[in-house]
Structure 1
Amino acid sequence: MAQSTYNARVLVLRKTKLGESDLILSLLAQDGSQIRAVAKGARKPTSQFSSRLELYSQADVLLAQGRSLDIVKEARLVAGNAALRESMELAACAAPIVELLDRITQPGLEVPKLFPLTQTALDVLASADSAHGPAICAAWLLKAFAFLGIRPSLDRCCVCGEPLACEVGSSVHRTIAFSASEGGVVCDACRVSDVAGLAPETLSWASALLGMRFSDIASIQVDQSCVFDALRLCQTWAQVHASIRLKSLNFLFSCGLF
């Protein structure tokens, strides 16, 4: 009985060795769902898949439906994003993006905005100066949280909705109360026990990154200290709201590349 086949444009999120020469692939489809598939013989140097299904690459694939895993029959490379594998700095910034996608997307669960968001972020990251990598990564994480329905409140009290006017450099507000469990920044009247103090500069950068285009982020001067504080906010947010601790973010914090 012939296997049912279908075409898909995908982004490669993860590769796992199977047997002597095969690979199990985690793929992000255009509709935002995850596809799990086997690429037979993909680890052989002569395989057509070895260069067309690299990590971070975008490809058009023909897949045959299987019981638990689909099977890659054909693949055509659309965008290789080789710079993300050749530069340690850029690879460290791309890894949290694909790790979160691999952990949070599911087969059959469509989140259509995730694919173009990730496609654009990886394209810009691949051609960006490595110093802008952490800011692009932080911007993608914040935007992804928004598309997934778990966007943090950065300018209004997440409890009462009161706007928080906090000027950068103000002596009145040296830190702003932030509660991941409650949903974001908290005013003094609604302050809860499990709050962390964030600098106004960090919240200002997080808000800016959330609203900026990736191409614009790649051309501005970044404050790495504030960007890394925003990344730590994202780490806590993913852990509290998605029960995911991103190992690749821990590496980014400790690698000393930036």
Structure 2
Amino acid sequence: MSATHTAALLLRAHPYGETSRVLRFLTRDRGIVGVMARGVRSGKGSGLDTFAGGRLTYYHKSNRDLHTFKEFGVERPRRGLGRHPLRLAGASVLADLVLRHGGDADAESLFDSLSRALDDLADADPPEVPSVLLREGWGLIAVLGYHPSLERCPRCGEVLGRDEVGRFDFEQGGVRCARCAEEGGGGPRLGPVARAQLAALVSGTVPPELRKPRAHLRLLSDFVTYHLAGSRELASFRVLGALLPSDD
């Protein structure tokens, strides 16, 4: 059985027995890979810190969900994520997104996007974390194959007016026009400012003055819940929400 070498990000680590761990990596070559790391809990300084990036070596087993871990050479420890609870909570949200549906996306694009996102979060000042998370979260969603429609109504196809007040439709994956917004159902109303800020975040830009970051994070969470998380809110979103101040 030959060893496999790949660039990897450690996203989750779970204890197994008294001395071992089950590790979940995002790899650049094979997407999500789970390995059994025996004996790593018995020593200190293993380098197996969550969100670290480096080179993973493991023994691939065909038709198995868990493979055999050999070593992980850390190149980017990203210790800055653990130095503030907001950074850590934001990184957990991004990791949960990838773990839920990482297998359905192009592994290389997803790996590069998440690596950049974690680096940006690790370097962000705490007040900037919500904005950075929103930008990177919508970016990962696009890589995973989901992208909200913000220019045309997903029901009637009409172009939304610049000053139009619409309603986000989670089922259709976009913002309804004012006329279709009155048909009932759907998510929150979005005015022109909120829609312009959402469009900037989806395109990879943080607006100069992001209004109501909690409301934007709730929209992102609800979108993820509907399309990626099987109708159950990710626990990491709840943790992040408890750490954020009110929008008022």
TM class by shorter-chain length? 0.7 to 0.9
Q: Distance in 1 between matches of 2:203 and 2:15?
A: 38
- Name the Cα RMSD after superposition: 2.1
Contact 1:32 1:109 in 2 (8 A): no
Q: Distance in 2 between matches of 1:44 and 1:222?
A: 48
Contact 1:203 1:230 in 2 (8 A): no
Q: Which amino acid aligns with 1:54?
A: D
- TM-score w.r.t. length of structure 2: 0.88
CA displacement 1:118-162 (0-9 Å, x = unmatched): 111111111111111111111122112212222111222112332
1:63 aligns with 2:51: no
Q: Distance in 2 between matches of 1:90 and 1:109?
A: 25
| Greater mean deviation of Cα atoms: 109-118 or 127-136 | 109-118
CA displacement 1:24-69 (0-9 Å, x = unmatched): 111111146100111222223346xx22x21111010111123331
Contact 1:138 1:230 in 2 (8 A): yes
Q: Which residue of 2 aligns with 1:120?
A: 116
Contact 1:59 1:75 in 2 (8 A): yes
3-state SS of paired residue (2:108): coil
Q: Indicate how the Cα distance of structure 1 residues 94 and 109 shifts in structure 2: closer, same or farther if over 3 A, else same.
A: closer
| Superposition pairs of residues 173-184 of structure 1, within 5 angstroms | 173=164, 175-184=165-174
Identify the match of residue 148 of structure 2 among 136, 149, 152.
152
Q: Which residue of 1 aligns with 2:3?
A: 5
Q: Indicate how the Cα distance of structure 1 residues 45 and 202 shifts in structure 2: closer, same or farther if over 3 A, else same.
A: farther
| Superposition pairs of residues 88-127 of structure 1, within 5 angstroms | 88-106=85-103, 110-127=106-123
Shift of 1:257: 5.8
**Structure 1 outlier segments of 4+, above 6 Å:** none
1:236 aligns with 2:213: no
| Superposition pairs of residues 31-50 of structure 1, within 5 angstroms | 31=29, 33-46=31-44, 50=46
Equivalent residue pairs, number: 240
| Greater mean deviation of Cα atoms: 142-151 or 188-197 | 188-197
Shift of 1:115: 0.8
Identify the match of residue 194 of structure 1 among 185, 189, 196.
185
Q: Distance in 2 between matches of 1:10 and 1:245?
A: 27
Contact 1:158 1:183 in 2 (8 A): yes
Shift of 1:83: 0.8
3-state SS of paired residue (1:113): helix
Q: Which residue of 2 aligns with 1:54?
A: 49
Contact 1:31 1:110 in 2 (8 A): no
Q: Sequence identity of aligned pairs in percent? A: 26
Q: Indicate how the Cα distance of structure 1 residues 109 and 199 shifts in structure 2: closer, same or farther if over 3 A, else same.
A: closer
CA displacement 1:199-250 (0-9 Å, x = unmatched): 332222221112236xxx4xx754251x322211111111111225211111
Q: Which amino acid aligns with 2:120?
A: V
3-state SS of paired residue (2:178): coil
Query: What are the ranges of 5 or more consecutive residues in structure 1 without an aligned counterpart?
Result: 168-172
Q: Which residue of 2 aligns with 1:131?
A: 127
Q: Distance in 2 between matches of 1:224 and 1:56?
A: 29
Q: Distance in 2 between matches of 1:144 and 1:40?
A: 32
Q: Indicate how the Cα distance of structure 1 residues 121 and 109 shifts in structure 2: closer, same or farther if over 3 A, else same.
A: closer
Contact 1:5 1:63 in 2 (8 A): yes
Q: Distance in 2 between matches of 1:197 and 1:102?
A: 30
Q: Distance in 1 between matches of 2:244 and 2:106?
A: 37
- TM-score w.r.t. length of structure 1: 0.85
Contact 1:139 1:206 in 2 (8 A): no
